Each structure stands twice: as structure tokens, then as C-alpha cells.
Amino acid sequence: MQSENFDIEILSLNHVQFRVDYYSSNKEHLEIWHPTTPKGFYTFKYQKNKIYEQLKSVNNSKSAQFVIVNKAKTKMLGHCNYTKIKNYKCWLGYSISKISEGKSLMYEALRLTNEYVINNLKIKEIRACILPNNEKSIILIKRLNFKYVGEKDELEINGETRTYETYLLSAS
């Protein structure tokens, strides 16, 4: 998939170094929203193993994993992951680099990838869990026509249990 500003690629082993660079250069930016990273997370070996694991899930039709790269294909700008695919439903996860934030790139990427999973994977419901203080993400998800459904869940973030709120996009 392509836009004027970036390309979206399906995750592959070609993205290992991109992910190492992405997560390393965005560590502070991302760690306030993500679970505590395991030992070795920022290494080539860890990311290669993680991609292998994610590709197994893709091959078993349990997820769709996308990487957002710049037009020159030299840098990862973000990612969109559709996981726990079952009964035409899935969960959405995403992140964008600090330097790419605030430029509507994730809006554009999610618009394209949501359309892809709805049309090609026949997904009927996409759910996203967002921390209530992540105002940018809430604005983004509402702009994409996700609706707040009131369900809450908990996840460990930086050693502390945090409550997420659920948003839903229904395919029409």
C-alpha cells in the first residue's frame, strides 16, 4: 500500500534492522504507552525472533502486521498490527515515531490498513484499547469512526497496572 507520504509493507524479516532502529530511537517516546520491554528487546536477535513469532501468527491467519516506511525505504516510521483475529474480529495496535507524530501519518496509515483488513480479511469488528490519558490516540481513533464502548481492561506499563478503555470500529 502506498500514500504520498510513505509506503506500508507487510512485516517480513527484511524489517529486523528497521525495528531495532525504530524502537531504539523512540524508546522514551513509546515506553509511556507500552508494556515494559523484555531484556534484549533493542537487539537484532530479539527483533528477529519476535518477527519470526509474528510471522507464524500471520501464516496461521491470526494476525496482520504492517510496517510504515518512508518513501526512500530507509527508515521505519511506525507500525499497525491487527491481532487475535477470530470470528471476523480483531484487536488493533499501533505506534508512530516521535518525529512523525502530529502529521496525520498514522491516520492515513490506519485508514489504509483498516480498509485492507476489512476488504481482504473480511474483518467485521476492529477493537482498540487506549489509555484514557492518551488524548492524541483517542482523537485519532475517533477521527477514524471508532466508537467508545465502555469496556475496560488492565495491562502492565512500566511496572504499573494501567486501565485501558476499548473503542470499536464496525465494518458497514
| Residue 93 zone, left/alpha/beta (φ > 0; ψ -120 to 50; rest) | beta
- What backbone phi and psi angles, to 5 degrees, belong to 14? -65, -15
Q: Residue 24: name the closest of 80, 76, 83, 79 by CA.
A: 76
Q: What is the pLDDT of residue 31?
A: 77
Name the maximum alpha-carbon separation found in the chain: 42
User: Is it the case that residue 150 has pLDDT exceeding 90?
Assistant: no
What are the CA-CA distances from residue 35 to residues 2, 30, 32 (Å)?
30, 9, 8
What cell numbers appear for 92 in the block? Answer: 488493533
pLDDT single digits (tens) 34-78: 777 778 999 999 999 999 999 999 999 999 999 999 999 999 999
What pLDDT score was predicted for residue 146? 97
- Name which of 16, 11, 1 is nearest 71 in CA terms: 1
Highest mean pLDDT among 105-119, 128-142, 151-165: 105-119
**pLDDT confidence tier of residue 152, bands split at 50, 70 and 90:** confident
Residue 165 sits at φ, ψ, to 5 deg, of: -115, 145
* 166 vs 130: CA distance, rounded Å: 6
Q: Which tops the pLDDT comparison, 46 or 161? A: 46
Which pTM does this prediction carry?
Answer: 0.91
Q: How far apart are the first and last CA of the chain?
A: 22
Specify the DSSP class assigned to residue 134: -
With residue 107 as reference, give the H or E element that holds it. Answer: helix 105-120
Structural domains in the chain, CATH included, are: 6-170 (3.40.630.30)
